[in-house]
Amino acid sequence: MKLYVVGIGPGSIDDMTIRAKKALEGCDVIAGYTVYCDLVRPYFPDKQYISTPMMGEEKRVKMALDKCAEGNNVCLICSGDAGVYGLAGLAVSMAKEHNNMNLGADGGSNLEPVQVEIIPGVTAAISGAALLGAPLIHDFCLISLSDRLTPWELIEKRLKLAAEADMTIVLYNPESKSRAGYLRKACDILLEICHGDRVCGVAGEIGREGEYCQVMTLNELRDYKADMFSTVFIGGSGTRQVGERMVTPRGYESEVKSLLR
């Protein structure tokens, strides 16, 4: 049996890849975080669902592996891309342990080993950038502000180095109920290096009801009330606001000017 680790994109069927949709249509069981299961349930109502709340990742993967061992093809779903702050790494590691545990003393097993296939999806950096315009045309990096698994000191170091490298920075997990004020802390770190009028943007509820995006300066971003469904973009020094959008140039502008003369 196979465990598919599937990135479902922002959550709407329109932003799901064809490969992800086919995997979900063909599986027996869908496993995931409760919110993500609720997002896909209307499109795949005939599937068996197993879910855990936030911070139940290890239990969620184990439940999915156990269902595979029972003879089911299982889709373990993640929002965005399963390999970008998702469960792909945990699933690969735990599947190896799961298969090793089922080996007998002679190296044989009565159970077929669980195979893991990772199916990519559209991560929030890509879908959010599309709403905001074109902030990722040049080099960029992704940084999560969640310190549940990463020490804040390391997050702070990465923010400083990314700002010094002068690339667009995309912030995942900017705020939560237990991490209020983290976006402001991040902005204060960036303001030590970046000018306050740096072009920034926020995209939220991407691909879902209530979808929104807004362009602002770094100073304004410091006071913005974000949440776990927000993705934050801090432009590089060359990023510009074009109307209601943000654009990071890549050097085409001189060629465009010469063509339009």
Q: Identify the pLDDT of residue 260.
A: 54
Burial of 211 (0-12, 13-18, 19+ CB in 10 A): middle
183, 145 in Cβ contact below 8 A? yes
pLDDT in tens, 50-109: 999 988 899 999 999 999 999 999 999 999 999 999 999 999 999 999 988 876 544 555
Residue from 127, 117, 180, 185 nearest 155 by CA: 185
Structural class in CATH, domain 125-247: alpha beta
pLDDT at 199: 98
State how far the Cα of 87 lies from the Cα of 95, in Å rounded to an integer. 12
Domains of the chain by residue range:
2-122, 125-247
pLDDT digits (tens, 9 = 90+) for 191-215: 999 999 999 999 999 998 899 999 9
Helix ranges (H only) for 102-229 are: 124-132, 152-165, 182-191, 218-221
CATH 3.40.1010.10 fits 2-122, yes or no: yes
DSSP string, 178-195: GGTTHHHHHHHHHHTTS-
Identical topology for domains 2-122 and 125-247 = no
- Position 245 scores a pLDDT of 97
Q: What is the mean pLDDT of residues 130-142?
A: 97
Would the pLDDT of 21 be above 50? yes
Q: How confident is the model at residue 252 (pLDDT cuts 50, 70, 90)?
A: low
* Alpha-carbon gap, residue 211 to 215, rounded angstroms: 14
Average pLDDT, the chain: 92
Give 1's pLDDT tier (boundaries 50, 70, 90).
Answer: confident
Q: Read off the pLDDT of each residue in 164-191 and give the average, rounded to a whole number.
A: 96
The pLDDT assigned to 113 comes to 86
Query: Average pLDDT, stretch 34-58?
Result: 94
Mean pLDDT of 13-42: 96
What is the pLDDT, as a whole number, of residue 54? 83
Please report the pLDDT score of residue 250 as a whole number: 86
- pLDDT, position 105: 45
pLDDT of residue 109: 53
Please report, rounded to a whole number, the percentage of residues in the chain having pLDDT higher than 70. 93
